[in-house]
Structure 1
C-alpha cells in the first residue's frame, strides 16, 4: 500500500530563503529518509500547545484532542489530501443510492478492537447510534449524522445507513476521526469517563494514560493490520509509542525541540520561524481547509443583534495588514471558507477595508464618538470582549487597533481552552475567536445552522435555508450555488468576521521520518518512524 505524496519535508531554511513578499515558495520534496529503511522502535515525544480537554473523538472538536484521537481509532474511509478523493479504509467498497439517502458499506474482514472484540457491522451500527445518543456533546460527529433514519445490518460485514433527506456530505464525513470506532466496553461508559481516557479503539495505538495539562501516553498495538489504503506500509505502526506533552509556551516548545527533549513541535509560532530557519530544522506545512480564523458575534447580545454594528465590524477590519504578522504559510481571509476547501469562492470584494463606510453605519445607528474615541449610545459604550486561548495575541491586538479607529473598543482576554469552552457552552461571550478544519464546505452548516450548533445564537433566517439545502443536493453545480449563497449571506449579514486562513506548521528533529498530515491537516503517526541515534 502506498500513500500519495501530500506534503513536503525539508529544512525550514530552504522554504524561507526562497520566499519573497508574496505567496511562500513550495519547499523541496527531497528527503534524506528515502535512503534509509524504516525500523520499529522508539517513543515519539510530541509537544501540543494546549490541553486536549476531552480525547474522545466522538465528542472532541479542538485540534490537540483530534491529533490524539486519530491515533486511537480508524474510519470507514479515508480522504486523499491532494485530490480530496474518498478511498477505502475499514470499508473495502460502498454504494450510494441515486438520491444520496442510502449508504451501504462492505467492511474488511478480521478487524478488531484492542480488547479483542470484533469490529463488524453491528459494532459500526452501535457506534453511530451512540454518537446520536450523545446529542450536543458530539459537537461535530452529531452534525454529520443529522437526519439519520435507521441502520440495517445485512450480515457481519455489510450494513446500510438511511437518512431522511439526501446527505451529500456524509461520505466525506466517514473519513473523519469524529466518526471513528470504539468497542462496546467504551460505548457503555459515561461521556465524562470517555473524555478522560476510557477508550478502547481499533487504531494502531492504545491509550496508556491521560494526565490533564501534562501528557497523553500511547503505546503501539502489536496485532494491528488494517491501515488506510493511503498508508505506506502494512502491519503494526513503526513506533513503539507516542508521548504527547502539553507545553503551552511557544518558547519552551522551541527550546525543547532544539535541545532534543521533544521530537515534534505541533505548534510552531510565527516568531520562531526565523530561529528554526537558522538551525536548519525540518518541517511540514499545509493550509487548513474549512472555516478560516474569524470572530463570530453572539447575536443574543443586544448590540450584536444590530445588523449595522456587525456590518461595521467587518468593514473596519483591514485584513491585508494581517499578512505582516501571520505566518508566510497563512494569508488574509477572502471568504468564510479557506481557499483550500472544496467549492471555495473568493468574496474579498465583500471584505474590503472601508472605515468610512463603517463610521457611516454606526453614525446612522446612533452610535456617537465619545471624548475617549469610543462610541456610545444612551450611556452604553460600543465595547466587546473576545476570549481566546490560542497564540494569536498579535493578530487580535492589530484588530483591536483597527476597530478603535472607527470607535469600537475590543477587549482582549487571553485565558485557557477549558475556560473558553465553558463560556461558549454557557453563551457567555461577545465575539468567539475560532477556526474549524474540515475538507468539505458542509463545515459551514456544522457551525452556523440555526437548528444546529448556531454559534451566533441567532434567529432563523435565509442563510439557514441555504445551509440546509446545500447538504442535500446531489448536483455539484447546484450545491456550489447554495454553498456560495450561504457564504455570501454569512459575510454580508456579519454573522462572522473572517480574519485569516489557518495553516499548520509542524517542526521536528532530523531523526523523525514519515511524518505527514491527513486531509484535515491533522497528524497521522502510523507511518512515522525514528532513526536510531
Structure 2
C-alpha cells in the first residue's frame, strides 16, 4: 500500500477541530448515536455471524496532535486509534446512555455522589503482563490529578474534588471526592480516564506522548510516526472486553494502520481507490461520489455542537451586545449545508442528544435585523465600507481556526460574509495545533471555532465554570452556582432543571455561540464488517473484520 502522503491533495475542506470534552478535545455525554445512515455498499456492518480473523484495516484521519497518551489527548482523530489501546472501568451504551461494566464488574455509588466503590474483574492484565488491580486504579487517578495536571485537562476536570482512592483489597478500589461529583461514573467510561500500567505512569508526560503507553486494550501501539501514521497490533490473549461487545476474546484484525491525510479530497480519493478501508469526517459534497463508488456511509450524531468559543477578556467581546449581535447574525441553516447530510442548526450549546438539553432557540436564532438594532443601540455606526465603528475603533474580531489540525475555512468564510452584512468584520487566523493550548491558557485570542461534545450535561461545568480552568475568562456569577449544583445532585429531574437554567444564562448572554449540532460521517469499504461506534463517535474496532 503506497504512502498516502504522496497522493495529490485536493482543495481544502471542512474538518473541524474537535474539543472532545473540554475544548473536550481540548479539549468534550443522552449520548452520541449511530443514526443508521448506512448507504452505498453494505446496508449494515454488524452481524451475529462469526467474523473472519486476520488482515489489516487501513484508516485515513485528518490530523495528528503529536501525542499518543490517551490521558493527555483530546482530539478525536487521535483518539480513534488510542481508544483501542486502553480499557476503562465502565462503558456507556450509545443508544440508552446506560453505564455498564467493563474492567469493573460492578460498583456502588453513595447517596451523596462522593464515594464510588469499584469491584474489578479478576485476571485482567496490561500488555506488559502486570495486573489491572485496585492499586493501579489509585495510581492512575492520583497521577492524573498531580503529575499530569493541566496536561490531562479532561481527566482533571472529571476528577474535580478528588480526595483520593482507597485500596480496599486487591480488586476493590474506593474513589472519594470532597464534594459530590454526579458525573464521575460516566467519566469512567472515557479514554481520558482509561487505565495505563505502572511502567507508563512512572514516565515523564513528554515521554508518554512521544513513545506511547502500556494499556490493557485489545490492541497495542506498534509504531508512531508523527504526522504520518499510528500503527497498532492485536493483543494476544485479550479476553476482558466491554459488556457491550458481542465479540469475545481477541480482536479479529491483526493490525490497524491509521494514516494522517490532512485533506478531505485526498482521504476520499484514497478510499475510492481502495488504498484505505475507512475514512472519517466525510463532507457533503463527497457523499454522492462515495455512494457511486459503492462505499458505505455511516452518520453518527454526537452529544455536542460546533460553536464559536468566546474569550470574554477580549476588549470588544466584553460587550454583551456585540456577542449577541454575532449570535443573531449567523444563518445556521445555511451553514448546515457545508456539513454531512443530517446536520441540523444548533438550538443550545448542548445538542438534543445530550442529557439535560434544553431548547434555547429564542436566543440562538438568525435575526439580522435584531443584530443591527443591538449594535445601533450600543453606539456602533456603519462606515463607508459597511463595517461599524465606535469611538474610532472598528468592529473587527478575529476567529481562530486550528488550521494545523483541520480546515474550517469554508465555514468561517460563510460566517464572515453573514456577519459583514450586520457590520462586523471577521478576520480568520489559522492556528498551528502546537500553539492551541498556549493560546487558550494565555487568552491571546478573540474567538476559537471548534466542536465540543460529551454525553453528559457536566460538560457545561467543565467548559464554563470560573472555578476550573476558565479558558474563556468569564466573570464569577450565578452560573457557577448552577453548574456546581448540577454536578452535585443525583436527582436527574433536578439536574436537568439546573442544566436548563445554566443553558439559558449562557445563551441569553451569548457567552458561547453555537452553530450546528455535531455530526460526523464515516465512509468505508463494504468489505468492512462489525463496525460500531461509542457515544463519543470513536469506532470500536475490536469486533471489526474484513470480508475476504
Instruction: Give the TM-score taking structure 2 as reference length.
Output: 0.90
Report what 2:416 is aligned to: 400
CA distance in structure 2 between the aligned counterparts of 1:334 and 1:443, rounded to whole angstroms: 16
Q: 1:391 to 1:488 in 2, by over 3 A?
A: same
Report what 2:430 is aligned to: 414
* 1:433-466 CA distance string (max 9 Å, x none): 1122211111111111112132311221121211
Q: What SS does structure 1 have at the residue aligned with 2:362?
A: helix
For residue 373 of structure 1, report the CA deviation from its aligned partner: 0.8
- Superposed, which structure 2 residues align to 1:164-179 within 5 Å? 164-179=178-193
CA distance in structure 1 between the aligned counterparts of 2:90 and 2:400, rounded to whole angstroms: 36
Matched, 1:192 2:206: yes
For residue 43 of structure 1, report the CA deviation from its aligned partner: 1.4
Residue 533 of structure 2, aligned match among 481, 502, 517: 517
- Superposed, which structure 2 residues align to 1:424-503 within 5 Å? 424-503=440-519
For residue 427 of structure 1, report the CA deviation from its aligned partner: 2.1
Residue 382 of structure 1, aligned match among 388, 391, 395: 395
Matched, 1:158 2:185: no
Report what 1:21 is aligned to: none
CA distance in structure 2 between the aligned counterparts of 1:54 and 1:510, rounded to whole angstroms: 31
- Superposed, which structure 2 residues align to 1:44-63 within 5 Å? 44-63=57-76
**Aligned pairs, how many?**
513
Report what 2:5 is aligned to: none
For residue 250 of structure 1, report the CA deviation from its aligned partner: 0.7
Residue 108 of structure 2, aligned match among 95, 110, 129: 95
CA distance in structure 2 between the aligned counterparts of 1:111 and 1:13, rounded to whole angstroms: 40
Q: What SS does structure 2 have at the residue aligned with 1:105?
A: strand
For residue 61 of structure 1, report the CA deviation from its aligned partner: 1.0
Matched, 1:340 2:353: yes
Whether contact under 8 Å (2:347, 2:359) holds in the other structure is: yes
Of 76-85 and 369-378, the range deviating more from structure 2:
369-378
Report what 1:280 is aligned to: 294
Report what 2:323 is aligned to: 310
Whether contact under 8 Å (1:289, 1:339) holds in the other structure is: yes
For residue 178 of structure 1, report the CA deviation from its aligned partner: 0.7
Give the CA RMSD over aligned residues: 1.8
Q: 1:267 to 1:323 in 2, by over 3 A?
A: closer
CA distance in structure 2 between the aligned counterparts of 1:48 and 1:93, rounded to whole angstroms: 35
Whether contact under 8 Å (1:168, 1:472) holds in the other structure is: yes
Matched, 1:127 2:140: yes
Whether contact under 8 Å (1:44, 1:241) holds in the other structure is: yes
Q: 1:43 to 1:52 in 2, by over 3 A?
A: farther
Q: What SS does structure 1 have at the residue aligned with 2:119?
A: strand
Matched, 1:353 2:380: no
Whether contact under 8 Å (1:10, 1:282) holds in the other structure is: no
Q: 1:233 to 1:36 in 2, by over 3 A?
A: closer
Gaps of 5+ in 1: 15-28
For residue 382 of structure 1, report the CA deviation from its aligned partner: 0.9
* 1:476-498 CA distance string (max 9 Å, x none): 11111110111111111111011
Q: What SS does structure 2 have at the residue aligned with 1:494?
A: coil
CA distance in structure 2 between the aligned counterparts of 1:220 and 1:127, rounded to whole angstroms: 24
Whether contact under 8 Å (2:63, 2:78) holds in the other structure is: no
Q: 1:10 to 1:387 in 2, by over 3 A?
A: closer
Q: Which of the pair has the greater relative contact order for Cα pairs under 8 Å at 6+ separation?
A: 2
Matched, 1:39 2:52: yes
For residue 198 of structure 1, report the CA deviation from its aligned partner: 3.0
Report what 2:215 is aligned to: 201
Q: What SS does structure 1 have at the residue aligned with 2:211?
A: coil
Q: What SS does structure 2 have at the residue aligned with 1:277?
A: helix
* 1:121-170 CA distance string (max 9 Å, x none): 00011001001011111111111100011211111000111111111101
Residue 228 of structure 1, aligned match among 242, 245, 248: 242
Q: 1:527 to 1:8 in 2, by over 3 A?
A: farther
CA distance in structure 2 between the aligned counterparts of 1:326 and 1:45, rounded to whole angstroms: 24
CA distance in structure 1 between the aligned counterparts of 2:178 and 2:157, rounded to whole angstroms: 14
Q: 1:428 to 1:229 in 2, by over 3 A?
A: same
Q: What SS does structure 2 have at the residue aligned with 1:255?
A: helix
Residue 245 of structure 1, aligned match among 259, 263, 283: 259
Q: What SS does structure 2 have at the residue aligned with 1:83?
A: coil
CA distance in structure 1 between the aligned counterparts of 2:129 and 2:45, rounded to whole angstroms: 38
For residue 252 of structure 1, report the CA deviation from its aligned partner: 0.6
Whether contact under 8 Å (1:9, 1:283) holds in the other structure is: no
Q: What SS does structure 1 have at the residue aligned with 2:153?
A: coil
Gaps of 5+ in 2: 1-31
Instruction: Give the TM-score taking structure 1 as reference length.
Output: 0.93
Q: 1:209 to 1:425 in 2, by over 3 A?
A: farther
For residue 308 of structure 1, report the CA deviation from its aligned partner: 1.4
Q: What SS does structure 2 have at the residue aligned with 1:189?
A: coil
For residue 33 of structure 1, report the CA deviation from its aligned partner: 6.4
Q: 1:39 to 1:10 in 2, by over 3 A?
A: farther
For residue 384 of structure 1, report the CA deviation from its aligned partner: 1.1
